[in-house]
Amino acid sequence: MDIFMQAALDEARKGSREGGIPIGAVLVEEGRIIGRGRNRRVQQRDQMMHAEIDCLRNARLTGGYHNAVLYTTLMPCYMCAGAVVYFGIKKVVVGEARSAPAARDFMQAHGIEVVDLDWAECRMLMEEYISMNRKQWDEVLSELNPDLLIQQEK
């Protein structure tokens, strides 16, 4: 088991216990975690507070993260993928991409290596959340990209 993805999963579970969407992220540089975050959209009533953004806000202040790897339990959306590009992160490791495939192609087009672990634990956490919070999840997806709702229903 990857210890950094496990740390991201721990963040996702914390978010779930807080009543939020179970998505977590950690930023790793030179083998140590320099930032942690979780989706706090529900808790803070802030649609911009995605796990990856929260993680970057909590990371050390820098002009970039060119040697860092972002671990996230769910494939980043376009907003978060834009932040990955902006900060020069070259690798993103994803727990699962089935719930919201979002911006894989966008990141790869910008030279970012995207590794999808397709972890059953990450999938099950999201599947459980979605089944219990379908209306809220549809709202999240429609904010990100209305076409995702259509894809999700297929």
Residue that the structure tokens 């953004």 belong to: 53
Name the pTM for this structure. 0.88
For tokens 């993680």, name the residue: 55
Residue 153 lies in a domain: no
Instruction: Answer whether residue 68 is part of any domain.
Output: yes
The domain that holds 137 is classified in CATH as 3.40.140.10
| 99 within a domain of the structure (yes/no) | yes
Look up the domain containing 95 and give its range. Answer: 3-147
CA–CA separation, 44 and 139 (whole Å): 16
The rounded distance, in Å, linking the Cα atoms of 2 and 15 is 20
d(CA 38, CA 15): 6
Return the active site residues: 52
Q: What is the pLDDT along the chain (154 residues), one digit of tens a residue?
A: 599 999 999 999 999 999 999 999 999 999 999 999 999 998 988 889 999 999 999 997 777 798 999 999 999 999 999 999 999 999 999 999 887 777 899 999 999 999 999 999 999 998 998 889 888 777 776 666 555 444 444 4
User: How many folded domains does the chain comprise?
Assistant: 1
In a domain, 102, yes or no: yes
Domain contains 90: yes
Strand pairing class (91-94; 68-72): parallel
Residue 22 near residue 129 (C-beta atoms within 8 A): yes
Q: Is residue 154 part of a domain?
A: no
What is the DSSP track for 29-57? ETTEEEEEEE--HHHHT-TT--HHHHHHH
